[in-house]
Chain A
Amino acid sequence: MKVRESLLVFADHLQRVQLWLAALALIVLMMVTVADVFLRYLFNSPVRGSYDMVESLLVVFVFNGMAAGFFTRRNIVIDLIDSAIGRSATAVLIRIADFLSVVCLGVLAWAMLGPAVQAYDYGDRKLELNLPIYILWVVALLGMAGTLFCALVALSARPATAGIRPSE
């Protein structure tokens, strides 16, 4: 029981950290672009590498922004069947979805290892920022690992109840 609670508390902290990391990336992305536009139109001096910065910050945003949705089971589902099959059968389907979430995230993370290693071996860099692309792959893999952990905790330690519907 204690292990389960500790896992839940840790995963909750982790998804909060990832959420605010993603939020920070989004705010910086927005500010860089705004600054780029203003400096370009007012002083004819755009922010160098702003395009690369947007792409790089988007990687941080996406791979860290997923964890909260997985931890709280907010992925979009078609729940028409719920009323027809009753609560216990719905709980079973939720558990199956949790399991499939973990499997799919695991497969994607595993498949991402190959291109990440290639990016390191080839030494590709962002054109304007000169940032090694493998660093972004590391960020992506760390974000995926956190999301996978949150999905695992949702599978093993959270009661099988439906999440909150996200807005579209």
Chain B
Amino acid sequence: MSPSLIGLTGVFVLFALLILRVPIWIALVLVGFFGNATVLGWQGAFALAGTAPFDVASAYTLSVVPLFILMGEVASESRLSGELFNAARIILSGFRGGLAVATLAASALFGAVSGSSLANAATMTRMALPELRKAGYDDGLATGCIAAGGSTDILIPPSIILVIYAAIAELSVPKLLAAGLIPGLVLTGLYMLVAMAVVYVRPDYAPDAPGFPLRQRIVALKEPWQFLALFIVTIGGIYAGIFSPTEAASIGAFGAILLGVLGRRLSTADLLRAIENTVVVSGLLFVIVIGANLFSFFIVQTHLPELLLDGARSLNLSGLQVMMMIIFGYILLGCFLEGIGMVLITVPVFQPLVTKFGYDPIWFAIVVVVMVEVGLIHPPVGMNLFVIQAQAPDVKITSIYRGIIPFLIAPLILIVLMFLFPALALWLPKILYG
């Protein structure tokens, strides 16, 4: 059997294991280990299995992951997020659907200090859903806004998934964090347009509400200053080249704790809970990255991307057609895989392929993350939808499914825009880092 076919078999075995409920990290370790043993022999496989965990756990670049998770957890546990939503609610009042737009704006701003879409969706469900329901909004529209808004979190820096992507694809973390910002903001704008369109078609979904006086709106503008300050110091610091990502993440996490404690928004119990969650979530992510490390090495050894490239060339497929197939593949994968798994399994296979067709790896990374976003919100298994339902069990899952469907058009429009204007993802990294 040729190495490429061994690689292809490995990918099929991996998916079989995942469907059989084997945890993602185990599936990656098993396929990676036995695959490497087949290609390199047992000695080589053992050598890799012995060094991969230590290499991953001592990688300076990856120290960003727990620190950004801590920053998001602290922002979520403290009452900062409540103040943020309240400010957005006041500023964006006075028109039909204003509260829906405010929810999306607050989610995007929360995304500026948090790198986890599920944390964003959970926080916004707690903060925004009771207000949306009190104002008479349709459950579907309300939960659709929360789920969609939460998904922008993995595009707007800091994004945990982009940091892990950078580690596995050997790309620059600051460049990827820069590349995600404009598409994240464009996507937030598109979600707002979708929300307004839904309200236009179904005015009964969002009752008209009186606006707050101008003076109160101006006063409310200062409420999200903590979020903006954290974002400017951390991400602005990385963009300006003042801090490395690890330094920025440390200052961000420390700053979030300081703001919470000084503003009496964060009790000791809240802080301990945030730290505990950070440790558990990071531990789970790191074992997956260890597995992905072994799997990725196996894929490289098998030259599977070259097999796919030869296949595409023999079928006379253009780069665009290959990208369309990959995007369709991601939509299918999103039906049963969660985000990190989707990235770690597919990137070692697809990235070499698309770069051979002339696509920029940074641009491709953002396309992949947008597709992961789609996976997070599309029925039947979008994780954000389940998070919302877990937080609000009295909302029917069918209402949540119905509510999210119009929002699915927005990331697909963003993908089209990224094909037409690759600069959406590439302009900022180019300006900042050349």
Question: A residues bordering B, Cβ < 8 Å?
Answer: 19, 22-23, 26-27, 29-31, 33-34, 36-37, 51, 54-56, 58-59, 61-63, 65-69, 72, 74-82, 90, 93-94, 96-97, 100-101, 104, 107-108, 111-115, 136-137, 140, 144, 165-168
> A147 vs B29: C-alpha distance in the bound complex, in angstroms?
16
Q: How far is the CB of A7 from chain B (nearest CB, A)?
A: 21
> A78 vs B290: C-alpha distance in the bound complex, in angstroms?
19
> A62 vs B50: C-alpha distance in the bound complex, in angstroms?
15
Nearest A residue (CB) for B71: A30
> A78 vs B334: C-alpha distance in the bound complex, in angstroms?
11
Q: How far is the CB of B51 from chain A (nearest CB, A)?
A: 5
Most interface-central of B22, B116, B336, B381 (chain A CB within 10 A) = B22
B119 touches A30 (CB 8 A): no
B70 touches A30 (CB 8 A): yes
B283 touches A113 (CB 8 A): no
> A82 vs B116: C-alpha distance in the bound complex, in angstroms?
26
B279 touches A115 (CB 8 A): no
Q: Given the interface contacts A26-B66, A37-B251, A80-B381, does A19 sit within 8 Å of B19 by beta carbon?
A: no
Beta-carbon contacts of B49-65 to A below 8 Å, as 1s and 0s?
Answer: 11111101111101100
Query: Which of B203-211, B337-345, B426-434 lines the interface with chain A?
Result: B337-345
Nearest B residue (CB) for A164: B280
Question: Which residues in chain B, 322-370, are within 8 Å of chain A measured between CB atoms?
Answer: 336-341
Question: B residues bordering A, Cβ < 8 Å?
Answer: 18-26, 29-30, 33, 46-47, 49-54, 56-60, 62-63, 66-67, 70, 116-119, 122, 160-161, 243, 246-247, 250-251, 253-254, 275-284, 286-288, 290, 336-341, 381, 383, 386-387
Q: How far is the CB of B262 from chain A (nearest CB, A)?
A: 16
Q: Known contacts A33-B250, A69-B283, A136-B54; can you find 20 more A-B pairs with CB under 8 A?
A: A19-B276, A22-B279, A30-B67, A54-B60, A58-B57, A62-B57, A65-B280, A68-B279, A72-B280, A76-B24, A77-B23, A81-B19, A90-B21, A100-B30, A108-B50, A112-B49, A140-B53, A165-B386, A168-B161, A168-B340
> A72 vs B280: C-alpha distance in the bound complex, in angstroms?
10
> A140 vs B58: C-alpha distance in the bound complex, in angstroms?
10
Q: Given the interface contacts A22-B279, A27-B275, A166-B284, does A112 sit within 8 Å of B54 by beta carbon?
A: yes
Q: Given the interface contacts A19-B280, A77-B23, does A65 sit within 8 Å of B286 by beta carbon?
A: yes
Residues of A within 8 A of B29 (CB): 104, 107-108
Q: Given the interface contacts A63-B57, A101-B23, does A115 sit within 8 Å of B51 by beta carbon?
A: yes
Q: Given the interface contacts A55-B60, A59-B58, A78-B337, does A33 sit within 8 Å of B283 by beta carbon?
A: no
Most interface-central of B56, B251, B282 (chain A CB within 10 A) = B282
Q: How far is the CB of B374 from chain A (nearest CB, A)?
A: 15
Residues of A within 8 A of B60 (CB): 51, 54-55, 58
**Pairs across A and B, CB under 8 Å, 22 listed:** A19-B276, A29-B250, A33-B247, A33-B251, A36-B247, A58-B59, A58-B60, A59-B57, A63-B53, A65-B283, A68-B283, A74-B284, A93-B21, A100-B26, A108-B53, A111-B49, A140-B53, A166-B284, A167-B387, A168-B116, A168-B161, A168-B340
* Interface of A: prevailing SS: helix
A65 touches B282 (CB 8 A): yes
Residues of B within 8 A of A62 (CB): 56-57, 282-283, 286
B281 touches A166 (CB 8 A): yes
Q: Given the interface contacts A51-B60, A65-B283, A168-B340, does A76 sit within 8 Å of B49 by beta carbon?
A: no
Q: How far is the CB of B301 from chain A (nearest CB, A)?
A: 17
